[in-house]
Amino acid sequence: MSRKEGLVSPTSSWLPAAAHRLQRLADQAATSPTAGHQGLGLGGKLMHLAIETARRESLGFLWLGVWERNESAIAMYRHRGFRVFGDHVFMFGGDAQTDLLMRLDLE
C-alpha cells in the first residue's frame, strides 16, 4: 500500500473525511476552551484518535502548528512523539505570533 503525506492543519487540501471531522473538533476545542473542559484529557483523546485515523489511512506523517507559549500543549505533543521542525509567524489581530511546527512520523 502506498503512503500518503498526512496533515493536521486548517489549511489542508487533502484529508480523509474522518480527519476533517477531527480537525473541526480540534479547532473548536482549541479556540473555545472553557474551564469546565480543561484537564479532562480531551486533547489527548482527540490526538490519539487523529493518530489512529492517520495510521488507518496509511499516512506517512502528521504535522501541526502550536503557539510557542502554549507549554502544556507542546508537552502533550512531545509526549505523543511530535518533534519541532520549524516555526511560522502569523498575525493575531495586530500582533505577530509564532507557531512551532511539529511533526510525527508514522512509519
Residue closest to 52 by CA, chosen among 40, 65, 42, 62: 62
Q: Which residues are catalytic?
A: 77
75 touches 43 (CB < 8 A): no
Cell of 42: 480531551
Cell of 107: 512509519
